[in-house]
Amino acid sequence: MRYFNSNAVEELPSRYRANLINTITGYKSANLVGTVNRSGRANVAIFNSVVHLGSNPALLGFVLRPLTVRRDTYRNISENRSFTVNAVTQEIYEAAHQTAAKFEENESEFERTGLQPLFREGHMAPFVSESPIQLGCTYMNEYPIMENGCIFIVGRIDHIHVNESLLTEDLWAKLDEEQIVSIVGLDGYAAPKIKDRLAYARPDESAKSILHGAQKV
Ligand SMILES: Cc1cc2nc3c(=O)[nH]c(=O)nc-3n(C[C@H](O)[C@H](O)[C@H](O)COP(=O)(O)O)c2cc1C
């Protein structure tokens, strides 16, 4: 195996270091975070750091890069506490990737990439119309990552819109049915395929597939 110690990692050219560190922890979720500014301009940007933080209450979080440059997503969430999280599919991954480009403040990534904003009654921030999983969230808190200046945003999931075709009887989302992609590093897009689903692990039972049988409540 090739070996890098922390000194060797530090000495790598920055692009290589970023590639190595961003890819070795595995596949990440691919989501578009939608927000809106004070004058109603819709904003959308791709994030690979969205994680769920527990289901009761239903919370999620994501990492925002340091505020050393203009960050529209952060400013908009600070202004009105509203955001959406929308899964990226194979159909829209190129447009989704383009949202990371540095557009002017008065430009909407929706207009520039062709993604469609969807405003829904009862939620301020726009959803991404093309996405099969659209979550309406409210900002709850933020935590500074002292070590590098990033910010961890915590949001409450208030609204869940999911394509019916994705859901099993026990509400497990079959992400591959709608070709939802995942991200490798900051530029790789993968199309994962569900291989199996296993019953709750118990010490004296061997792994049992439940792929074709929903878990009863
Ligand atoms: C694949 C990919 C994943 C990204 N993930 C994040 C992320 O998790 N956090 C972040 O702050 N920026 C992330 N970015 C960068 C943002 O998408 C980019 O800075 C965007 O312009 C932010 O838009 P905003 O200024 O409207 O907030 C990612 C970019 C790409 C291409």
Residue 217 domain-assigned (yes or no): no
**Could you list the residue range(s) of the whole structural domain that residue 55 is in?**
8-190
Lookup result for tokens 């609204």 = 159
Tell me what pLDDT residue 31 has: 98
Q: Is the CB of 37 under 6 A from ligand 1?
A: no
Q: How far is CA 71 from the centre of its chain?
A: 17
Strand 150-162 vs strand 58-64: parallel, antiparallel, or unpaired? antiparallel
Residue 28 domain-assigned (yes or no): yes
CA–CA separation, 154 vs 52, rounded Å? 10
Residue 108 domain-assigned (yes or no): yes
Nearest to 152 by CA among 77, 206, 97, 79: 77
The answer to whether 137 and 156 are in contact (CB under 8 A) is yes
- State whether the Cα torsion 21-26-30-31 is positive or negative: negative
Instruction: Please state the pTM of the whole predicted model.
Output: 0.96
Residue 215 domain-assigned (yes or no): no
Burial class (CB in 10 A: 0-12, 13-18, 19+), 148: exposed
Residue 109 domain-assigned (yes or no): yes
In this structure, the residue with its CA closest to atom 27 of ligand 1 is 73
pLDDT in tens, the chain (217 residues): 999 999 999 999 999 999 999 999 999 999 999 999 999 999 999 999 999 999 999 999 999 999 888 889 999 999 999 999 999 999 999 999 999 999 988 888 999 999 999 999 999 999 999 999 999 999 999 999 999 999 999 999 999 999 999 999 999 999 999 999 999 999 999 999 999 999 999 999 999 999 987 667 6
Residue 208 domain-assigned (yes or no): no
Q: Is the CB of 31 under 6 A from ligand 1?
A: no
Domain count, the chain: 1
Residue 173 domain-assigned (yes or no): yes
Strand 31-36 vs strand 82-87: parallel, antiparallel, or unpaired? antiparallel
Q: Is the CB of 168 under 6 A from ligand 1?
A: no
67 CA to centre of ligand 1 in angstroms: 12
Q: Calculate the alpha carbon distances from 212 to 74, 81, 201 in Å.
A: 42, 40, 17
Residue 206 domain-assigned (yes or no): no
- Best probe residue, ligand 1, of 62, 70, 73, 83 (max atoms within 8 Å of C-beta): 73
CA–CA separation, 212 vs 208, rounded Å? 11
CATH of the domain at 79: 2.30.110.10
